[in-house]
Amino acid sequence: MNILVKKEYICEKGKRSSVVIDNFSVEIKEGATFILGFAGIGLIGPIVANTLIEQLPDATEIGFVTSEYLPPISVFYEGVLKHPFRVLYSAQHNLIIGICEVPFQIPSAYNDLSKTLCNWALSEDVRA
């Protein structure tokens, strides 16, 4: 007996944000773990995320997150312009790291953003 399983996502996408994957040369394995480092008091989120990225030599930038609520700020590393909310993937550890280096000024931004991130993670069979 062959039963078709239909995936239904209970989390709708946010209206003012989206996940943009622009590096299709990296394939995300099923069951990847998703870790997010948000800027807040003390910047502990980006510090932990950067430490993970530095410790995982195969961590590759695969995309970024856009949001109308994201402040218009540029981030430079060693003279290279980077998006302030990047998404990286380590195939060796099957780990997705999201790093947001600027705080959102509008509290409701996190609701919209969390819907978008959860929707994307569910569609990619990612564990959070």
Where do the domains of the chain lie, and which CATH numbers do they carry?
17-123 (3.40.50.10900)
Q: Are strands 33-37 and 80-82 parallel, antiparallel or unpaired?
A: unpaired
94 sits in the region (left: phi over 0; alpha: psi -120 to 50; else beta) called left
What's the confidence (pLDDT) of residue 9? 55
Distance of CA 63 to the CA centre of its chain: 8
Q: State pLDDT tens for residues 8-60.
A: 556 778 888 999 999 888 899 989 999 999 988 888 999 999 999 999 999 99
Q: What percent of the chain has pLDDT over 70?
A: 91
pTM of this prediction exceeds 0.95: no
User: Which pair of tokens denotes residue 28?
Assistant: 């995300």
Rounded distance between C-alpha atoms, residue 39 and residue 102, angstroms = 6
Q: Is 88 helix (H, G, I), strand (E, B) or coil?
A: strand
User: Which pair of tokens denotes residue 113?
Assistant: 């953003």
Rounded distance between C-alpha atoms, residue 16 and residue 31, angstroms = 27
